[in-house]
Each structure stands twice: as structure tokens, then as C-alpha cells.
Structure 1
Amino acid sequence: MSEKILFVDDDSDLLDAMRRNLRGQFELATAGGGRQGLRVLEEQGPFAVVVSDLQMPEMDGVEFLARVKQLYPDTVRLMLTGKANITGAIDAVNRGQIFQFLTKPCSLNAMTASLTQAVRQYQLVTAERELLNTTLKGSILMLVELLSHADAQAFSSGYRIKGLVSRLAGDLGLSPLWLYEVAGLVSQVGCVAIPRDILAKVRNGQPLTPQEAGIYHGHPTIGAQLIRRIPRLEQVAAIIAGQFRDHGDPAGTGEEGDAVIGAEILRAALEYDRLMTQGRTHEEAISQLYRQQSRYNPKVVEALSRQEETPSRRRSILSITFSDLVPGMTAAEDITTVDGTPIIGKGQEITWPVLQELQNYLKYMGIREPIRVWA
């Protein structure tokens, strides 16, 4: 098996025996205590399985495996002890969610069988998560891409928001990042039900009538209802639903913490993107957000102020012809037909399907050149 296993024990003789007896069956690493074990996990990980002694100086097995669970939740955890300590065993199971509890002396056959089961459990968990993530992300990207074809300007902002929200969540130490990234990407999906003339007024900074404002401010609810139909995206739906809530709004106190901070990040990111799209500088946009701190979480705005150079703005802007356009580039401005009809919005990545769509427009309607892209 290629998956790595870490043994943590202050008994050097036991560690030597494990290396000697299990060599060739598993890829092993060892550590003489909990603190060293955490360093090995950080420097040599990921590990499929961690086996820890219960009684160790400085950091016992219960505390160590609880830390492993927190830092590396996919790693399968086994407890090994020479004492029939029922209280310790219960504590270990409750805090560290132990996969199996083994007692010393443990026969080679029993240890091999337990490690094999633990590795299979790790492979099952990681394979299921990878399949879920791949399927979810693929479905979501397809949805957003289809919507962006229907109205490039209305939906392409999701591509810009996705990256900004992800960086803000990372700056604030939030996880999992995919939750916030997906929320940013699909944040405008509810706009599919909003009349285009209202969306155009919002983009151009024109005032809305009370009726128009009511319609427009309903799109987060519509989007959340659509996204909530997708399994595992309930938190994403909650983030989308709260994107127009002011910071500290009691209407959001019933939501879980991830949804509240996610909605606050999304709200600030959307306003920042709107201001930047209208031609404001980074400093001007941040200054305006700071002046409205009753509406925006100050910690989020502070994190946003540190995003002075986004990755797309750091890349070179090229003016090219259609024949030079390749997947992986990002539109630096709207790509339009020769008569000015938007096809692809600013900030949208050029993928193979997008390139094929542009090819069709080039044949039948023509595309305005040069095309400005980030590359």
C-alpha cells in the first residue's frame, strides 16, 4: 500500500519493532511524542493513518489525537495502550473519534489487519469527498457558464467574486474555502429571474424605483431556493440568501456562523466589485466601505483592504485578435459583437466551451477586435 502511516509512542523499542515487522507492507514514519508527531504530520503529510500511544509525557494520546482530528480530519486515528484505562479510552473516543482502540501487546496479525482496515477507511472517505467535490464543482461551473451565455454581464461577475471571496476567507482563516468560493461563484444566480433593464440600471449605478428595488433585492432569496435543491449546498444557499443583510442585522442571528460570516464577506466583495467596475480605485472603494461600517463587517473590510492587487490585475493585459485567444485567458473587458452586444463579461475565464461559442459568434455576427485579456 502506498498510503503513509505514522506511529507515535515514547517507547523507542516499540517503534523499532513496528518499523522492523511492518517494513514492506506499509510506508511508515515514527515520532517519539505528540509534539514531534504534529511536526511530522505538518512536514511529511498527508498521512492516511495515525497510531498513538495513550500514556505519553508532555502531550498524551488523547490530546494528540484530538489535535490530529482538528488539523487533519481525513486521517484515520487509532489508539494503542498498555493499560486497561477505560476512562482514557472513552475520552479518546469522544475527543479524537478513534477508529479503533488496540491494547498492548498487540499481535502482528491484529496490527496488520487494523492498519489495513484503517487505510481502506481513509481511501473510502477521501475518494467519496473527491468524487463529491468534482461532481459538485463541475455541475456548478456548468450552471454558471450556461447562465453567463444567457446574459454575460449579469452572470460573469460570479467569476470575479469567486476569487475575491476565496482570498478573503483565506485571509480570515476560514475553512473549508470551497464553501465560500462556490457561494461567490453562484451569488448572482437568482438574477435569472430579474428583468434585464433592472439589472442594467444596477450595473450602471442608476437609481431604482421602489418597485424595481424590491424586485432586485429579491434575487438572493430566489438564488438560495435554487441552490438549496443541490445536495450538500445548504450552507452555500444560506450565504447567498444573506448577501444584502447589513452587518449585525438580527435577521441573520439564527444562521450558523459559517453562513453569517460568509454572507458578510459576500456583501462586501460584491460592493467592492461594483465600485471597481465603475472605475473607482482600490483606495476609493475601500474608503467608501469604511464610511459604511454599520453595513459591512469591519474585519472583512480590513481584510479587503489588504487585497490591493488581485491576481488578475497583477497579470499583463494583452490586446489580441480572436485567433490568439486560448483557454486559460481571462476577459479584461466585455467581449462583444461588432454591434456592441455583450457575449462574454469582464472577468470571465476563457474555457473551451466559451471559445467555441465565440467562434460561432465570429462566423455569424462578427466579434469586435482587438480583444483585451489578462494572460
Structure 2
Amino acid sequence: MTHRVLFVDDEKNVLSALRRTFHSDFLVETAGNAPEALKKFMAGEVFAVTITDMDMPGVTGRQLVQQIRRIAPWTARIILTGKPSIDTATEMLANDEIYRYLLKPSSPEKLREAIQEGIQWHIAKVEELGGINPGIILSSVRDLMPGDEITADVVSTQGNVLVRRGSIADAATIDALRRLEEAGRLITRVPVRRFS
């Protein structure tokens, strides 16, 4: 089985090189920034591994992996950075924010090995969780109803958390989200659990 891998980097030439290098090994997807990557997760796409740059404008790689951990805990998260920080790496690994912390430039062999290990972690995590939760339904804000439980953080296009996971939607929250959606400031797919 070929697993889906998402590369996130704000440099198009880096994404092109990664796609060329790994297209025969994995199902490769790319995103040019964190909000674009989050939209994929919020739309229900499943990735075994996500590899993201740390320093991106707007939303950092660290903020992205924190969001992914909440939305898709079964995805192995890898940081690939050209500006290493031992303190940050140690903290992120200790807090289980990431699976691996790699430095640019990383050889294709080293990165391929890290991805393959991440896939094994993903398979074990899905087993541990009893599968990818089928109880989560993806809804647009337009379909959100009072009483629906939001099962992942709702984020703005800048990566700010607007509604926390585990919140019960009420009319005022839904109205506020609709206004943000109309202004183009919201990642519009909202994971919810229906009680009906």
C-alpha cells in the first residue's frame, strides 16, 4: 500500500524537488503554506506523514504541527528546517508535537528513511486509536447547527484558533463563524460530531 505524504514549504523550488525525489516512493501532496495544509486536514484528507518547514510567513511550522496533532493525531509530524534550535527541537520532541526533527539540507536517503519510519508510526497509531474516527463528520459553517460538537479546533486563515475542540456550537458562535467565512478569513470546513 502506498501512503500519502504531505510536504509543506513556502519555497516552490523546494516542493518541486521533494515531489520529483519522492513521487515513486509515496503518494506525494504539497502545500505552499500552513493554512493551505490545514485546509487539507479540515477537508478530511488523511496523511500518514507530514513534513513541514519551520520558518514560514504567517503561521510557523510549529503552529502547524500543533494543529495537525489536534485534528489528525494519527499523522506522523516531521520538521525539516534550515534554522535549527536544539532547545526548540528538544521541547517539541518531549511534548510529542513531532515525530522527528531534521535539518536542511537532508539527503534523500535520510529523509526517505524518516518518512518510512513515520509511516510505521502512523500504522501503529491508527491501530492504537482503533482506526481513524468515523464519528467525525465534516461540515461547512453553513451546515453547522446549534448543539453540534466541534471535534477539532476551527482556525482562521492565519492559523489562529477561533473555536476550541470540544466546544458545543451555539447560534452566536455559528453567526460569528459565518461572518468570518463570508469575509474569507476562515478555513471553511469544520469537523463536527452530530448528536442527531
TM-score by length of 2: 0.64
Q: The residue matched to 2:57 in structure 1 has which SS?
A: coil
Q: The residue matched to 1:7 in structure 2 has which SS?
A: strand
- Correspondence for 1:48: 48
Alignment of 1:220-299 (within 5 A): none
Q: Distance in 1 between matches of 2:70 and 2:129?
A: 17
Q: Distance in 2 between matches of 1:89 and 1:42?
A: 26
Native 8 Å contact 1:62 1:95 kept in 2: no
The unaligned stretches of length 5 or more in structure 2 are 134-145, 153-165, 167-194
Native 8 Å contact 2:41 2:71 kept in 1: no
Q: Distance in 2 between matches of 1:174 and 1:56?
A: 28
- Correspondence for 1:171: 147
Which amino acid counterpart does residue 149 of structure 2 have in structure 1?
G
Alignment of 1:107-122 (within 5 A): 107-122=107-122
Identity percentage over the alignment?
Answer: 27
Asked if residue 23 in structure 1 is aligned to residue 31 in structure 2, the reply is no
- Correspondence for 2:92: 92
Greater fraction helix? 1
Native 8 Å contact 1:62 1:91 kept in 2: no
Report the CA distance between 1:95 and its aligned residue: 5.4
Alignment of 1:122-271 (within 5 A): 122-130=122-130, 171-173=147-149
Q: Distance in 2 between matches of 1:130 and 1:80?
A: 29
Report the CA distance between 1:109 and its aligned residue: 0.5
Which amino acid counterpart does residue 106 of structure 1 have in structure 2?
S
User: Is the deviation greater in 76-85 or in 94-103?
Assistant: 94-103
Query: C-alpha deviations, 1:176-211, integer Å up to 9, x for none?
Result: 9xxxxxxxxxxxxxxxxxxxxxxxxxxxxxxxxxxx
Closer, same or farther in 2 for the Cα pair 1:175/1:35, shift >3 Å?
Answer: closer
Q: The residue matched to 2:130 in structure 1 has which SS?
A: helix
- Over the aligned positions, Cα root-mean-square deviation in angstroms equals 2.6
Report the CA distance between 1:84 and its aligned residue: 2.2
Report the CA distance between 1:70 and its aligned residue: 1.0
Greater fraction strand? 2
Q: Distance in 1 between matches of 2:61 and 2:96?
A: 9
What is the number of residues matched between the two proteins? 142
TM-score by length of 1: 0.35
Native 8 Å contact 1:62 1:88 kept in 2: no
Q: Distance in 1 between matches of 2:55 and 2:37?
A: 14
Asked if residue 61 in structure 1 is aligned to residue 37 in structure 2, the reply is no
Native 8 Å contact 2:51 2:77 kept in 1: yes
Native 8 Å contact 2:4 2:46 kept in 1: yes
Q: Which runs of 4+ in 1 moved over 6 A?
A: none
Report the CA distance between 1:97 and its aligned residue: 1.9
Native 8 Å contact 1:49 1:77 kept in 2: yes
Native 8 Å contact 1:6 1:28 kept in 2: yes
The unaligned stretches of length 5 or more in structure 1 are 134-169, 177-257, 259-306, 311-375
